Structure 1
Amino acid sequence: MFYYFIKSERSPKDDPLVLWITGGPGCSTLSAMLYEIGPFTFDYKNSTPSRPTLKVHEYAWTKVANIIFVDEPVGTGFSYANNWESYNVNDNISATDTYEFLRKWLTLRPEFLNNPLYIGGDSYGGFINPMVTLKVAEGNEAGRKPIMNLQGYLVGNPVTNLPGDINSRVRFAYLKSLISKELYESAYENCNGNFINVNKSNAACVDDLKLVTMCLEKLDIANILEPNCFYMTPKSTLDGTWDPSLVNRDPTLLPSHDLHGLWCRIYNYVLSYTWANDRAVQEALHVRPGTIRKWVRCNESLSYDYSVPEVIEYHKELLKRGYRALIYSGDHDLAIPYVGTLGWIETLNLTVSDDWQAWFVDGQVAGYTTLYSYGEAYLTYATVKGGGHTAPEYKPKECFAMINRWFAYYYL
């Protein structure tokens, strides 16, 4: 299992140790490091698709934490196996392998055993995260060495109960004024509140959902403020160059005479393919030659079995044991909407210690937060105003303030 370890820029021996799990499943944790919370990011103004350059990330979480970015499961990023059977993975195998990786890592780096340990992740990493966290807790209880100083976990826009998460998209679309009140009420009534696995014989429901789709199809599912663009890599054009005019063929989104050009977030992502597949970069990262054919940001060919239906019970078990939790949502994410996340949090039957209120960065509203308690355990829920599916990518300053305060036990 391949990993990147970044020591805290502040005090490595005192600051928290975070194991970071990226989503997908099959998306490289390099994506989180380059675009979200790592110590450097791309210098977009001075980069070209064939020659990306890096710059220091002003709001890196590594300023206040030691972070292990691990490519999991096997087949993700630079992680590999020597036999094909090992590429057949599922939720349980992914969580077990990640836990065993952490045990071996801390055995080799015992100087970090006393650091407060947190398991972090977003998207589908938020699904594997509580499974790994519970394995750490149970391992400690069973006396498995090394004993880890587990303090809690944090998840962003987390997949938790996928049917419920996806089903909340229609309500989210209505709350964000993406569909009309009339369409929402009609769809809710005709579909009986169930917008997935719809019976095709229910013509009224099918017709309503077609209208919903038409309203949403030109929006980026990761952030509704941005356009939906075709996924592309540097190899997408015949000569291997990057041609923005080919990104989206919808005439309503193509540049007009009044616009200098259409921008899509995937322009940012193409740089990681060039950078990570450069042999000099791989040598610097200690990637073993011949272990992978080509690095991809997300491995869509991964043979993955979704063996666990939902992880709400894992959250309950962790709170029963008294661990801290931070759950945050970029509030413009259509993929895993905040309303779905709030829905399953409510099923935990927690006590509201501090009710829904704004939190601020530089005197401006950065989102809204609620503090829940369960015995000695506390769960902080926060929205990030304007944030997308990977909130620190869209709102780095606000998310850095959020994590810095939470690590320090301050209220947001």
Structure 2
Amino acid sequence: MCIYGGSTLLYLLLVLELCFPPATVAAGFAIKHLPGYEGPLPFELQTGYIGVGETEEVQLFYYFIKSESNPYTDPLILWLTGGPGCSGLWSVAYDNGPLRFNNVEYNGSLPTLSLNPFAWTKIANIIFLDLPVGTGFSYATTIRANTSDDIQAGIHGCEFVQKWLKEHPNFISNALYVGGESYAGIFVPIITQFISDGIEARITPWINLKGYLLGNPMTNLNTDGNYQIPYAHGMGLISDDLYKSLERHCGGEYRNVDPNNFDCLQDAATFYQWYSKLYKSHILEPACPDDPASKLEPVCNDVDYSKLFDQRRALGQLTNLITPLHITEKCRDHWYTLMSYWANELTVRDAIHVRKGTVDLWEYCHSNLSYTVNAKDVTSYHAYLSTKGYRSLIYSGDHDPCVPSISTQAWIKALNYSIVDDWKPWWTDDQVAGYTMTYSNGMTFATVKGGHTVPESAPYQALVMFAKWIQNGHV
């Protein structure tokens, strides 16, 4: 596959030149205490920057958390949150990381933190990366370098891994997996393929790449959205009559509708009017009416996050940046604002060693990211990686209306691999946690009774699923 044009060999050489330059930078900082968490941290946390690009004009910020079991033998995971533009801090504090913000109504004081008993860092080392440039605390030193796209993010992610391992040689032999959720479904397989290409080219350091894992992943941006209507019908969210009318008038194309197809447009408008009343990440949870911060993922619905913030400056310092939001709603997204209050405190930034003057306003999902989508269908990357023997876990929260599980099943089926272990339930504590199947290409698909971000909505089940797959190769 040639993204840049020309021969496949020239493309590979270009990728390797960009992905594996010789320069390295200093190691990160060990963090023993965090503002808002009482006492010393009971796990090992490191933060830092890795410079990528031709002159390291992009500085990627990361949070590295060592496994609480056997860090030098447990797997190493590079984890990407999605968006594009959603920070790794969100995963640290709300998803599969070891922390949780305490859901206490904001009163102007620093939000507090507690432990997540179902963190994946119990059994794995995880690097939570702010990727692409402009995400979280990652920044560019030039205007030109502040723009990115799917392929560039893949190159930067690949280069990050190579440089990070040079800084941390004790982890070179650990099994490496690249993982993420939602829009990370686009750049995770790209990063994984670029790392694989580097291994074949015998680039040092040698990387022990074993595979990748994805949750509710965007995969084919041209077709993923077309499964929302069949999913809604299957879940009993719309009537048989409306669904049949949509099928008849739209012919399966519900997102990019012909503007002259009035009947389809009318039916689709009726559907989205009702569908918009649901919470965009989990159909059983309370929605967020009139919430300016509504939704973690821009890919699920377009939100102007900047409405939350009043970018006042006092004496050139980052103080009083955020206009307080009255957090009393049951909706999950309201509580995410606590993370913004926390990350924009000077004491917090000093504690995690954020470079002064680099990021004025931290947002958990960047509202004005300079980003171009140029890899709308990454199914071919999955097919390529299958030929190299890498294993993969693709999981879906089955109550997610944003990236429905049936859309994920559709592209997996299109890969046309034979089934090794057919559809069956998998269990936690003698209860069905979801369903799974395994394919001959080393891919495992699993559903979980949860939402768009499974470790957040079903944390215990997610940890069990992850542990089963890491240890046994299947769920």
Structure 1 and Structure 2 fold alike (TM over 0.5)? yes
Q: How does 1:9-28 map to 2 (within 5 A)?
A: 9-28=68-87
Q: Which has the higher mean CA deviation after the structures are superposed, 233-242 or 207-216? A: 233-242
Counterpart amino acid of residue 160 in structure 1: T
Structure 1 counterpart SS, 2:469: helix
Q: Does 1:408 align with 2:450?
A: no
Confirm or deny: 8 A CA contact 1:49 1:234 kept in the other structure.
no
| 2:112 alignment counterpart | 53
Cα deviation, residue 207, structure 1:
1.3
| 1:275 alignment counterpart | 342
Cα deviation, residue 43, structure 1:
2.0
Q: How does 1:231-250 map to 2 (within 5 A)?
A: 231-232=292-293, 236=308, 240-244=323-327
Counterpart amino acid of residue 356 in structure 1: W
Question: Which deviations, in whole Å up to 9, do the C-alpha atoms of 1:258-291 show, x marking residues without a partner?
Answer: xxx7411112201100111111111111100111
Structure 1 counterpart SS, 2:409: helix
Question: Hey, what's the Cα distance between the residues in 2 that align with 1:124 and 1:327?
Answer: 13
Structure 2 counterpart SS, 1:182: helix
Q: How does 1:100-249 map to 2 (within 5 A)?
A: 100-229=159-288, 230-232=291-293, 236=308, 240-244=323-327
Counterpart amino acid of residue 102 in structure 1: V
> CA 1:34–1:215 in 2, change beyond 3 Å: closer, same or farther?
same
Question: Hey, what's the Cα distance between the residues in 2 that align with 1:320 and 1:134?
Answer: 11
Structure 2 counterpart SS, 1:55: strand
Confirm or deny: 8 A CA contact 1:61 1:403 kept in the other structure.
yes
Structure 2 counterpart SS, 1:224: coil
Cα deviation, residue 241, structure 1:
3.1
Cα deviation, residue 185, structure 1:
1.2
Structure 1 counterpart SS, 2:111: coil
Structure 2 counterpart SS, 1:226: coil
Counterpart amino acid of residue 351 in structure 1: S
Counterpart amino acid of residue 16 in structure 1: P
| 2:420 alignment counterpart | 353
> CA 1:314–1:410 in 2, change beyond 3 Å: closer, same or farther?
closer
Question: Hey, what's the Cα distance between the residues in 2 that align with 1:327 and 1:342?
Answer: 9
Question: Which protein has greater RCO, CA pairs closer than 8 Å, 6+ apart?
Answer: 1
Q: Once the two structures are aligned, what percentage of the paired residues are identical?
A: 44
Structure 2 counterpart SS, 1:227: coil
Cα deviation, residue 152, structure 1:
0.6
> CA 1:323–1:48 in 2, change beyond 3 Å: closer, same or farther?
farther
Structure 2 counterpart SS, 1:163: coil
> CA 1:81–1:293 in 2, change beyond 3 Å: closer, same or farther?
same
Q: Which has the higher mean CA deviation after the structures are superposed, 214-223 or 389-398? A: 214-223
Confirm or deny: 8 A CA contact 1:59 1:400 kept in the other structure.
yes
Q: Tell me the C-alpha RMSD between the 2 structures.
A: 1.7
Q: Does 1:398 align with 2:461?
A: yes
Structure 1 counterpart SS, 2:415: coil
Q: Does 1:289 align with 2:352?
A: no
Cα deviation, residue 242, structure 1:
2.7
Question: Which deviations, in whole Å up to 9, do the C-alpha atoms of 1:38-76 show, x marking residues without a partner?
Answer: 111112258756431111110000000000111011100
Question: Which deviations, in whole Å up to 9, do the C-alpha atoms of 1:121-154 show, x marking residues without a partner?
Answer: 1111121000000111110000011110011100
| 1:330 alignment counterpart | 397
Question: Which deviations, in whole Å up to 9, do the C-alpha atoms of 1:61-104 show, x marking residues without a partner?
Answer: 00000001110111000000111111111111110011101100
| 1:34 alignment counterpart | 93
Question: Hey, what's the Cα distance between the residues in 2 that align with 1:410 and 1:151?
Answer: 11
| 1:250 alignment counterpart | none
Question: Hey, what's the Cα distance between the residues in 2 that align with 1:410 and 1:128?
Answer: 23
Question: Hey, what's the Cα distance between the residues in 1 that align with 2:292 and 2:454?
Answer: 20
Cα deviation, residue 190, structure 1:
0.4
Structure 1, unpaired ranges of 5+: 245-260
Q: How does 1:64-83 map to 2 (within 5 A)?
A: 64-83=123-142
Confirm or deny: 8 A CA contact 1:21 1:29 kept in the other structure.
yes
Confirm or deny: 8 A CA contact 1:46 1:53 kept in the other structure.
no
Runs of 4+ in 1 over 4 A off after TM superposition: 45-49, 233-239
Question: Hey, what's the Cα distance between the residues in 2 that align with 1:45 and 1:203?
Answer: 48
Structure 1 counterpart SS, 2:139: coil
Counterpart amino acid of residue 446 in structure 2: A
Q: How does 1:339-378 map to 2 (within 5 A)?
A: 339-374=406-441, 378=442
Cα deviation, residue 300, structure 1:
2.0
Cα deviation, residue 410, structure 1:
5.5
Counterpart amino acid of residue 332 in structure 1: H
Cα deviation, residue 411, structure 1:
3.7
Question: Hey, what's the Cα distance between the residues in 2 that align with 1:221 and 1:234?
Answer: 19
Question: Hey, what's the Cα distance between the residues in 1 that align with 2:214 and 2:141?
Answer: 32
Question: Hey, what's the Cα distance between the residues in 1 that align with 2:104 and 2:242?
Answer: 43
Q: How does 1:248-327 map to 2 (within 5 A)?
A: 262-327=329-394
Question: Hey, what's the Cα distance between the residues in 2 that align with 1:344 and 1:353?
Answer: 17
Question: Hey, what's the Cα distance between the residues in 1 that align with 2:307 and 2:248?
Answer: 46
Confirm or deny: 8 A CA contact 2:222 2:377 kept in the other structure.
no
Structure 1 counterpart SS, 2:283: strand
Counterpart amino acid of residue 408 in structure 1: Q
Structure 2 counterpart SS, 1:154: strand
Q: Does 1:389 align with 2:472?
A: no
Q: How many residues align?
A: 392
